[in-house]
Amino acid sequence: MRKERPRATGAIPDASMSDIAFLLLIFFLVTTTFEVQRGISYKLPKKPDEQTEEVVIDENNRLVMTIKQWGQDEYVALIDQAPPEGPLQRARAGEDVSLDDPGLQDGIMTLAADRVEAMSATTRRLLVNLEVAKGVTAGTYSSLTSAVSAENLTPVLREGVIRRTLGAAVPLASDPLFGEVAFGDTLVLADARQGDIASVVRESELVVILKFFPDCDYNGMVRALDTLRRNGVSRTGITTQERLGGGV
């Protein structure tokens, strides 16, 4: 009998395909980089310890007010605590006053004006802002005068609303670069080509803590903050109160 020889077929052997796929899978897992979508970065507060110093606001510089809402677009303030011997001292506790009351606003402005920061503190903050704007390390300039000379800057004084409101009663301080600076004025360092480089407002040491009831709407919060800003207060703290049986 004649024996036929086996003929080659066109089929591809696939016995080792599973091993190849497994090796490819390992290769891709090892070499592939995954894009990680990062969220908003923030720093948690440090754990209190013996070295942590608590910031204590002196009673003479602290004004505490509770803001309540009486009706639509009607907001009142209750003076919980005020600097002693001042226009808004604690003797007024228990009396609700409208945020639009001229006496309340005049009292806030008087307290803020009496506690205006020293001119040296204002120029020191301006120097820090200039170093940040220029991207140089802290302490690069020995003084504000040397910085103005080195960077060829022009000092500009812009009068604030406090000067126009208080008139002659506004506290003034003399400065060799800006002249007579009033409480609430803005000190600006400008460049001939780039415009304003750094600025700072002469602020007050008065700290106002606002306590809002939960039923006080957003407009009430904004109006309270605007009232403080117009009267020279820039240092504020905000907290909320809860109603318990009609009281605080």
Mind listing the pLDDT tens digit for each residue in 137-175?
A: 888 898 999 999 988 999 999 988 888 877 777 888 899
| Chain-centre distance for alpha carbon 68 | 24
Are 98 and 78 in contact, with CB atoms under 8 Å apart?
Answer: no
pTM of the model: 0.64
pLDDT at 37: 58
Query: Is the pLDDT at 188 greater than 90, yes or no?
Result: yes
Please state the domain extents for the chain: 59-115+205-240, 119-201
Are 200 and 160 in contact, with CB atoms under 8 Å apart?
Answer: no
Any residues with CB less than 8 A from the CB of 246 and at least 6 apart, and which? none
Mind listing the pLDDT tens digit for each residue in 191-235?
A: 888 889 999 999 888 999 999 888 788 888 899 999 998 888 888
Residue 200 CB-half CA count within 13 A: 23
Q: 20-24, 71-75, 219-223, 242-246: which range is least confident on average?
A: 242-246
Question: What are 27's strand-pairing partners?
Answer: none
CB atoms within 10 A of CB 203: 19
Residue 128, helix vs strand vs coil: helix
Helix axes 119-134, 144-151, angle to 10 degrees: 40
Query: Is the pLDDT at 97 greater than 60, yes or no?
Result: yes
Nearest alpha carbon to residue 237 among 198, 210, 213: 210
Distance (Å, rounded) from C-alpha 238 to C-alpha 230?
Answer: 18
